[in-house]
Amino acid sequence: MRRERILLILGVWVALLPYLGFPYSWKNVLFTLSGLIVIYYSYMLNKEYKATQVTKPFDNFRENSDFHTSESAPQEVVGQSEEKI
């Protein structure tokens, strides 16, 4: 939650920065530093989000595997005949 709050404060800072009366050279430096900090915290939040996601393998042929395991599928045994002599 701390990173989200920092991003909120930086957003307010960037929104108010043009109206605070800093000289142009200071504004350029402050905007650049603020932008770099926003990029860093956004990257860290994205990295943290991806680390918490559970990845499941993609089963491309799931509907086919269900057919072979069901009891309604025909059961054939190769090499044995039904007639016993």
Separation between Cα atoms, residue 42 and residue 19, nearest integer Å:
25
Residue 18 lies in a domain: yes
**pLDDT tens digits, 30-43:** 999 999 988 998 89
Residue 66 lies in a domain: no
pTM score, whole prediction: 0.56
**pLDDT tens digits, 11-35:** 899 999 989 998 998 999 999 999 9
How many domains in the chain? Answer: 1
Strand runs (DSSP E) across 1-85, as ranges? none
What is the extent of the structural domain holding 18?
2-51
CA distances from 13 to 4, 46, 56, 57, 66 (A): 14, 22, 40, 43, 57
Collect all residues with Cβ–Cβ distance below 8 Å to 22 and sequence separation of at least 6.
30
Residue 22 lies in a domain: yes
Task: For the chain, state the CA radius of gyration.
Answer: 31
